[in-house]
Amino acid sequence: MEKTSTLQYQRDEHRIHLIVYHLIWCPRRRKAILTGPIKERCQQILEEKCLEKGWSILTLAIQPDHIHLFIRVWPSESAADVVKELKGITSFHLRREFAPIMKKMPSTWTRSYFASTAGAVSAETIQHYINAQKGI
């Protein structure tokens, strides 16, 4: 999934901001489970949650054993908050909907994640990197 978006500063009542994160997280034991219907459902859950929270997905690449997400969020939300929300909601739904596959794992995601901030200057570089991961 790729959404083209120029990274312009957003303005609201009391602030001007441009907060974007590059986030990566993996399934437990780096198992390659993010394929087929699980991958599609995971993407759908991520898109729905981001829409609900008002976050903009700039680039999303779901690999069999990890997820890359380039996302624009509000200034009040830390990378840790975003990852916690997304890992939590996807784990809940995937474990319930794909129980035969997911019950073999003690948990859906590892406790760790990668987070990096980006500005307008390096945003294109991150998007190229994620696209390269997807094989584009």
Domain count, the chain: 1
At 116, which helix (H) or strand (E)? strand 114-118
DSSP 8-state symbol, 1: -
Q: Which of 70, 69, 75 is nearest to 109 (CA)?
A: 69
Residue 68 lies in a domain: yes
- Per-residue model confidence (pLDDT) at position 136: 64
Residue 4 lies in a domain: no
Residue 89 lies in a domain: yes
> In which residue are the tokens 């790729």 written?
2
Per run of 10 residues, the mean pLDDT along the chain (length 136 residues) is 62 88 94 95 98 96 96 95 97 95 90 85 72 77
State the CATH number of the domain containing residue 97.
Answer: 3.30.70.1290
Total-model pTM = 0.83
> In which residue are the tokens 């035969």 written?
100
Residue 12 lies in a domain: no
Handedness of CA 131, 48, 105, 39 (dihedral sign): negative
> The tokens of 77 are what?
């939300």
Query: What burial letters (b/e) apply to 42-58, b meaning 16+ CB within 10 Å?
Result: bbebbeebbeebebbbb
- Per-residue model confidence (pLDDT) at position 48: 98
Residue 126 lies in a domain: yes
**Structural domain of residue 76, as residue ranges?**
18-133
